[in-house]
Structure 1
């Protein structure tokens, strides 16, 4: 369009109504590069992975390991009871214990975990 021609909204409407063909999702396929598809495949594989349950520990055993890890500033690896909608176990939670609050432990990253939700704990060496 040159500077001499006035803007015509009807011409624009006519173009989009009769001449322009939207290719739908085809126009976005070029954005899926190999690193995108590799990441999508990695996520799908991770979702399909089933985590094996560890031995259920007693509250006394859990408390003893947590207390020792807190006192000696060791990292711990916690397997929690399932909170997932599919019933599968989630990956272990790993971190240092920053403190306790009522029936929860607080990790240094700020995550709060209910003591009754812990099924297994190990010192992370």
Structure 2
């Protein structure tokens, strides 16, 4: 069976009268899959890994070391964010602390919280 070649006139007639271009519909699937993939990638990058629960003595020692050596410290609180992004954590310099609370300078803001609320910390 031999297939005959379509002429320009026939092609133009078909395109004008029968062909329905799907327009943006054909691209939406492509954009949606790329967008979903980008969101998953961003969520994985934003989700902090949980530090092991530390006792108060270890936390106090790490905070003191960070304060004396002026090194940054990562502090994870025993509280969770409301939008499902995981545990609350701060990275910054210890500006001061006492038996019950700590002041941490993150560069953007200074936060203060009770030592009891700290899940764990590590120097960076």
Instruction: Give the structure with the higher percent strand.
Output: 2
Greater Cα offset, 83-92 or 103-112: 83-92
Tell me which of 82, 85, 89 is aligned to 2:82. Answer: 85
Structure 1 or 2, whichever has the larger Rg, is 2
Instruction: Name the TM-score, length of structure 2 as normaliser.
Output: 0.54
Instruction: Give the number of aligned pairs.
Output: 87
Instruction: Name the TM-score, length of structure 1 as normaliser.
Output: 0.54
Unaligned runs of 5+ in 1: 1-37
Conservation of the 8 A alpha-carbon contact between 2:79 and 2:88: no
Q: Does 1:110 align with 2:110?
A: yes
Secondary structure of the structure 2 residue equivalent to 1:111 = strand
Q: Which runs of 4+ in 1 moved over 4 A?
A: none
Question: Alignment RMSD, CA only?
Answer: 3.3
Unaligned runs of 5+ in 2: 1-34
Q: Does 1:71 align with 2:77?
A: no
Conservation of the 8 A alpha-carbon contact between 2:50 and 2:87: no
Residues 76 and 50 of structure 1: CA distance in aligned 2, closer, same or farther (over 3 Å): closer
**Superposed CA offset, 1:64-111 (max 9, x none):** 010111111111011111243367633531000100255210013421
C-alpha distance in 1 between matches for 2:120 and 2:63? 11
